[in-house]
Structure 1
Amino acid sequence: MVLNFAHRGSLTEAPENTLPAFQKAIDHGAKAIELDVQLSKDNRLVVSHDHKFTRFNKDVTGLIKDYTLAEIKQIDVGSTFGEAYSGTSLPALEEVLTICPKNIRLNIEIKNIPVIYEGIEQILLDTLTAYNRTQNVIISSFDHVALQTVQTINPSVDLGMLFYYRMLYPWDYAATSGLNIRSLHPNQVYVDQTFVQECKRRGFEIYPFTVNHFERYKELVSFGVDGVFSNEPRVFGSSS
């Protein structure tokens, strides 16, 4: 089965990492959704890729971590996308878990670089446990120490190891890391047939990011990837 993730929801149709974007992805029939989490000033899980607000609201200075969740809920991140989304705010993870059916696989990325959020792993796992969502979920990060912390707290949760730059033998690195990695998530630009074969030889699933062109998607599927992360509904809606 090829399982494609809606990257930050359907971000071409609604502001990324917001409830409308996730609802759009669900409406498209996405079988999997990717989102990012950070911590607010009061240690609540906020769904956001960027550490700053300026890409969505240039009038708001500072970082996610400088604001409480209540303050973040008052910040408009939707108007720059379109008037229809005026007043849309970043959601707490709990809000996403509430609207997302449990049969949709979630990839939750811990955004621990460049800001290191002490304790985010425990807070995330506690939240998933409270919502009975420790199954059918992947916790991923470019911060592999964060993955180690997740594994120490709950060894049964699936881990996804993210790679942005090319590196020598990432499949060997993952296999000898001491982590129970289920899947590798490389930048799609350097993924070829050999890369996929080596990952498979080591027993890893592979989900490249971010694959928005359908021809490239079909090529990667022909290489044997298990799925991709994509902004394109034609791709993430075609999970089978």
Structure 2
Amino acid sequence: MPLNFAHRGSLTEAPENTLPAFQKALDRGVRAIELDVQLTKDNHLVVSHDHHFTRFNPAIQGTIKDYTLEAVRRIDVGSAFSQDFAGVSLPTLDEVLAICPETVLLNIEIKNIPVLYEGIERRLLETLEAHNRGNVMISSFDHVALKRIQTLNPAIDLGMLFYYRLLRPWDYAVSSGLRIRSLHPNQVYVDQTFVQACRQLGYEVYPFTVNDPARYQELVDAGVDGVFSNNPAIFGA
């Protein structure tokens, strides 16, 4: 049975990467959730995909790294989705870990590009350790960040993200020297040949972001281990 990730929580039902979105996903009985982490000015891990706030409120200038956690908590990211969520702010990773049971696999993406957060890898691992949290995979488009995670904690599962169509990315994963659990490619170029090449090297394959049920079935037929999806009908499968 495919292991499908609720991408940024249930983002069609609540503001993405917020506690309500994660709770909606949990209420649907998901087995896996994806979320993104960044660092505030005062070195707190907050959960957000975008580095800036313009999608939520165009009047808010700057990026997450320019704000303290106290200031981030005052920024309303819920009203842009619906007035039902007015006043909802970005959560800390601590708050998300507090509501997500150990049985749910968390894919935590280090959102390190274009902003490079010095020390985010150590801060993330310290937070996971403080919560005694297992059943976690750390992913990133920044493969240097994955290398730092591996150096700090060789036992943790890593997911290697790819956006562009590369020549033999499975060979790149091998040559990187990283102990990768899975490749996370853009779904548009994933086919059976791609999946088989990864599988032969022992890698799982989780494409993103798959919202169309017909495309989802094509990928399942091609042999993927699961997908990242915004569609509750898919991530709840």
Q: Same fold (TM over 0.5)?
A: yes
Q: Matched residue pairs, number?
A: 237
Aligned counterpart, 1:107: 107
Deviations 1:12-41 (A, max 9, x none): 010000000000000111100000000000
Aligned counterpart, 1:28: 28
Tell me by how many angstroms 1:61 deviates.
Answer: 0.4
Give the Cα separation in 1 of the matches to 2:99 and 2:70: 20
Tell me by how many angstroms 1:51 deviates.
Answer: 0.3
Aligned counterpart, 2:215: 216
The residue correspondences of 1:1-240 to structure 2 (distance < 5 A) are 1-133=1-133, 135-238=134-237
Give the Cα separation in 2 of the matches to 1:57 and 1:10: 21
Structure 2 residue matching 1:181: 3-state secondary structure: coil
Deviations 1:70-106 (A, max 9, x none): 1100100010100100000000000000011110000
Give the Cα separation in 2 of the matches to 1:4 and 1:69: 31
What one-letter code is carried by the residue in structure 2 that aligns with 1:151?
Answer: Q
Give the Cα separation in 2 of the matches to 1:221 and 1:68: 43
Give the Cα separation in 1 of the matches to 2:169 and 2:207: 13
Structure 2 residue matching 1:88: 3-state secondary structure: coil
Q: Return structure 1 stretches of 4+ with deviation > 3 angstroms.
A: none
Tell me by how many angstroms 1:44 deviates.
Answer: 0.3
What one-letter code is carried by the residue in structure 2 that aligns with 1:95?
Answer: E
Tell me by how many angstroms 1:57 deviates.
Answer: 1.1
Tell me by how many angstroms 1:58 deviates.
Answer: 1.2
Q: Scaled by the length of structure 2, what TM-score is found?
A: 0.99
Q: Scaled by the length of structure 1, what TM-score is found?
A: 0.98
Runs (5+) with no aligned partner, structure 1: none
Runs (5+) with no aligned partner, structure 2: none
Give the Cα separation in 1 of the matches to 2:181 and 2:162: 14
Structure 2 residue matching 1:208: 3-state secondary structure: coil
Tell me by how many angstroms 1:170 deviates.
Answer: 0.1
What one-letter code is carried by the residue in structure 2 that aligns with 1:164?
Answer: Y
Aligned Cα root-mean-square deviation (Å):
0.5
Give the Cα separation in 2 of the matches to 1:120 and 1:195: 32
Structure 2 residue matching 1:121: 3-state secondary structure: helix
Tell me by how many angstroms 1:59 deviates.
Answer: 1.4
